[in-house]
A and B are shown apart, each in its own frame.
Chain A
């Protein structure tokens, strides 16, 4: 098939930047990575990008296609080529570009190191036997342990774009991998650290990390779990924590968000007084309701029931999500095909295989005794 790519070339030494277009013949099963290989082999050996496993596990080939982070080896080109679309390929965001599609990952790893990414207390002697831990407990960190450190989430993180010191989705998901691990003995210490400035409460919940993660790690969910665990352990000094708590209280008591009380509950009274003039302005324009008497929603019992349900499920409610979830959704909605699981917002081309004759299933023979 004919494939076209527009690639942002960049030379950090000269600072030269250029969008170059390439055309090639590629086999129908080709991925974006295969196409880059064709360019590098046959057209321009100076094109720089990282690659290794080509099977979605090493995390080398994170880059952007049409402005969104992808793993090049996971991105099949068939549908894109059929549509005649020529995608723009560029380096990942939020990290300095070294050359072409290669970014400097040092800032990424520095943040991973900042969450103390190893089990504490470390057991440095081989013990007699393994720790006994239930599978259910281990599943609570299943998604976080799928992370391949490709950087796609960090590339798309809006919060990091405005605050480069924000720990970011990959590091925080790594943090959750230890906070959720029953074998780790430093939960409170970790949650204290992760709750500091530039920490978990600086996430703006835009969910771009979750959308773009190629492995289903769901980093935003991990950050939510960290927040829940922090509050559970009484670590709620950060404004983000107070803000979240007031949301819950407000929704439970009135079924509404009581915005006038949100600011003092989040920022404290003194800081709120400074905002008084701004608040009055809003009130005059009818942007906020008068605080008294509190306006209670007619169906407030529904939001209270929801509150009780979440409370009853406790941490299992949030933690019980496993990787199979998306797959199970697919199973329920589309029992025959192969498209559904990857159809999320058109972020992946539908997998394609050159036509082969599939065998008719026959009754399976009984396995003889071994």
Chain B
């Protein structure tokens, strides 16, 4: 007999766990399915901080936070959602603190706040440079607390790889998963289901994202006929280390680090004379890429220079970044600048939701990076994504619990779906003649990195679409080496690759069609300017007959008219 819950959460990063906690507190029986143990989720790798207008370090207000976010989004964010987000953020931060989050403090014992890119006031709450780590552990602590309170209402299915949503009669009934530790397909049911599987950075060759960030939730929604929104907007973080792509936090620049080119020049003065290194991420990444393209980089990188901050500040505020530099670049930032370049970091796009996390399909929700509310629009501000996971994780958990508890249980619809999944799985495992996934994966990463990166050209995007189509054909005969049941992640990695190929197609389709430059989507060669008349609208991609289908949707405005965006 399959396990069934009122609320099923898929993914256990910050958004998933926050949603699960809220649903439990609202009285629901909660199941959490995650392909990793919850604390292994990539939210834990977030470094710099989490934005809320507390005003602890300088004057601030939710209104200012909202304006900065709208401007940062290049006017593609939905302004009503952004206002809710910035208004509710401070309460969520106080709650995390009361749960035990080990945040860094000011002299007066209040939560410290550091400056971050494109923020009108220092509003980024932080825990040295391991903010995500602190949050993921405090949320897991709260999850364990609820298990201790009432284990019958909180079940965590660790190392269950969610594969397919079960949708019947216009409702989502749960998910079919592959049990990694023990093998076998398992159905886990939910009255309401919340997708919280995170980003898809692994579509790119150089990314800050974990191996686990393969866009599973977005792909499951896409295949279930749901719309993905603004998929062309992949954020490139300005400071990912050469050669590994591992992230050095924006907090480095928040604490005062410089970006220099090979001549030692602080080049941001030429691109963003006021904000300098603390311009928004899309602006800084483009500046870096221009320096590199014009021959003022070294090995395709510029340098992040922290030397002037001094040992004490680096050890106090940025110890994790120092350790990362030392282990992965062999450089101690106290004494030498670290080579950095833009790398794929965060997907602004995702499953389309409203401000309660609701998708088009009643009873199905999405929160966190795999969702697109949208608060980030065309470019996310540093520190806003952790906040989004908490605020919209909470909101979707609350709404899903209330909705599920008001509904009669759905029919047990899993049987035929399980049979289908089992058949497809056997086909995949039974194939012995074909190609192992890694070359396809590497080719996908390369074409996306080269053709759909910081700067985009029509010809390159079209070429990438052809590449992706060819890769899909190769993928049709992919083979899995491991035929066993126990910890068969050879199988799950092959499934992830299939998802990644189709998500790449969705991104490219939306990208080619957006004939303007906005936020992270930059086309300096043919459409260098923003075109509010034709493109101040969300792209919507659906999966139809094995190919992406594109349409558009209006941006919701409240009080901010689009203005020219300079920093």
Given contacts A98-B181, A130-B93, contact A60 B144 (CB under 8 A): no
Interface string of A177-200 (1 = CB under 8 A from B): 010010110000000000000000
Interchain CA distance A126-B273 in the complex, whole Å: 41
Contact B210 A128 (CB under 8 A): no
A310 CB to nearest B CB, Å: 26
Bound: A183/B100 CA distance, A: 7
B491: nearest residue on chain A (CB-CB)? A45
Are the CB atoms of A54 and B210 closer together than 8 Å? Answer: yes
* Contact between chains at A351 and B328 (CB < 8 Å): yes
Report the separation of the CA atoms of residues A324 and B317 in the bound assembly, to the nearest whole angstrom: 10
B-side contacts of A60, CB under 8 Å: 36-37, 40
A307 interface residue per 8 A CB criterion:
no
**Is B175 engaged at the interface, CB distance under 8 Å to the other chain?**
no
Other-chain contact of A358, B332, B337, B489 (Cβ < 8 Å): B337
Nearest chain A CB to B322 CB, angstrom units: 7
B45 contacts which of A55, A145, A352 (Cβ < 8 Å)?
A55
Complex contacts, B292 vs chain A, CB 8 Å: none
In the complex, the answer to whether A42 meets B438 with C-beta atoms within 8 Å is: yes
B317 to chain A, nearest CB (A): 10
Q: Which of these, B109, B110, B210, contacts A53 with CB under 8 Å?
A: B210
Bits for A317-355, please: 1 = Cβ < 8 Å to B, else 0: 000000110011001000011100110000000111110
> Which residues from chain A contact B552 at a C-beta distance below 8 Å?
none
The answer to the question of B381 belonging to the interface, with a C-beta cut-off of 8 Å to chain A, is no
If A113-B144, A134-B105, A364-B308 touch, does A323 touch B326 (CB 8 Å cutoff)? no
Residue of B nearest to A120 (CB): B145
B524 interface hit (Cβ, 8 Å): no
Q: Is B487 in the interface zone, CB < 8 Å from A?
A: yes
A124 to B95, CA, bound (A): 8
Q: Give the docked Cα–Cα distance between A135 and B95 (Å).
A: 19
A173 interface residue (CB < 8 Å to B) = no
Which of B288-304 touch A at CB < 8 Å? 298-299, 301, 303
- A232 located at the interface, meaning its Cβ lies under 8 Å from any Cβ of chain B in the complex: no
CB atoms of A126 and B91 under 8 A apart:
yes
Q: Are A362 and B91 in contact (CB under 8 A)?
A: no
Which of B40, B54, B98, B276 contacts A368, CB < 8 Å?
A: B276
| Cβ B42 vs Cβ A53 within 8 A | yes
**A46 with B94: CB separation less than 8 A:** no
Q: Interface size of B by Cβ–Cβ distance < 8 Å?
A: 105
Residues from chain B with a CB closer than 8 A to the CB of A367 are 276
* Cα distance A104–B158 in the bound complex, in angstroms: 12
Task: Give the CA-CA distance A51 to B492 in the complex, in Å.
Answer: 13
Asked if A55 meets B247 with Cβ closer than 8 Å, knowing A135-B104, A146-B130, the reply is yes
User: CB of A220 within 8 A of chain B?
Assistant: no
Query: B111 an interface residue at 8 Å Cβ cutoff?
Result: yes
Question: Among B211, B298, B481, which residue has its beta carbon within 8 angstroms of that of A46?
Answer: B481
Q: Are A58 and B109 in contact (CB under 8 A)?
A: no
User: For chain B residues 96-151, which have a beta carbon within 8 Å of chain A?
Assistant: 97-100, 102-112, 127, 130, 132-134, 137, 141-142, 144-145, 147-148
Closest A residue by C-beta to B324: A55
Q: Which of A132-188 contact B (CB under 8 A)?
A: 132-135, 138, 141-142, 145-149, 178, 181, 183-184
Quick one: closest B residue to A328, CB to CB? Answer: B315
Q: Which residues of A are found within 8 Å of B137, using beta-carbon distances? A: 145, 147
A184 to B145, CA, bound (A): 14
- Is A83 an interface residue when CB atoms closer than 8 A count as contact? no
- Could you tell me if A122 and B145 are in contact, using CB atoms closer than 8 angstroms? yes
Question: Which of A58, A134, A148, A331 lies in contact with B311, CB distance below 8 A?
Answer: A331
Q: Given the complex of chains A and B, what is the CA–CA distance between A360 and B490 in angstroms?
A: 47
- Is A370 interfacial (CB 8 A cutoff)? yes
CA of A60 to CA of B36, assembled, Å:
9
List B contacts of A74 (CB < 8 A). Answer: 327
Q: Which of B255-263, B351-359, B447-455, B515-523 contacts A (4 or more CB under 8 A)?
A: B255-263
A359 touches B260 (CB 8 A): yes
Instruction: Report the Cα distance A131→B110, complex, angstroms.
Output: 7
Per-residue interface assignment for chain A, residues 107 to 139, with 1 indicating a CB less than 8 Å from any chain B CB and 0 otherwise: 001001100111100111111111111110010
**B26 is an interface residue with CB less than 8 A from chain A:** no
Partner of B94, one of A113, A130, A142, A181: A130
Contact yes or no, A356 B105, CB < 8 A:
no
B489 and A48 within 8 A (CB): yes
State whether the Cβ of A260 lies closer than 8 Å to any Cβ in chain B.
no
- Could you tell me if B144 and A149 are in contact, using CB atoms closer than 8 angstroms? no
Contact with A along B317-344 (1 / 0, CB 8 A): 0011011101111111011110100000
- A104 to B108 alpha-carbon distance, docked (Å): 45
User: When the two chains form their complex, are residues A360 and B331 in contact, meaning their CB atoms are under 8 A apart?
Assistant: no
The interface residues of chain A lying within 8 Å CB-to-CB of B130 are 57, 146
- Is there contact, CB below 8 Å, between B327 and A76? yes
Report if B92 contacts A (CB, 8 A). yes
Instruction: Indicate if A308 sits at the interface (CB-CB under 8 A).
Output: no
Please state if B332 and A58 are interface contacts (CB–CB under 8 Å): no
- CB neighbours (8 Å) of A113 from chain B are 144, 147-148
Binds A, one of B264-272, B367-375, B558-566: B264-272
Listed A/B pairs (24) with beta-carbon separation below 8 Å? A29-B243, A48-B486, A51-B211, A52-B40, A52-B211, A52-B212, A55-B247, A56-B324, A57-B130, A58-B41, A76-B327, A113-B148, A117-B144, A118-B144, A126-B95, A134-B109, A138-B103, A327-B315, A327-B322, A338-B335, A354-B243, A356-B339, A359-B260, A359-B264
Listed in ascending order, the chain A residues whose CB lies under 8 Å from chain B are 11-13, 27, 29, 40-42, 44-46, 48, 50-60, 74, 76, 98-100, 102, 104-105, 109, 112-113, 116-119, 122-135, 138, 141-142, 145-149, 178, 181, 183-184, 323-324, 327-328, 331, 336-338, 341-342, 350-354, 356-362, 364-365, 367-368, 370
B residues with CB within 8 A of A? 25, 36-37, 39-42, 44-45, 54, 91-95, 97-100, 102-112, 127, 130, 132-134, 137, 141-142, 144-145, 147-148, 181, 210-212, 242-244, 246-247, 258, 260-266, 269, 273-276, 278, 298-299, 301, 303, 305, 307-308, 311, 315-316, 319-320, 322-324, 326-332, 334-337, 339, 436-438, 480-482, 484-490
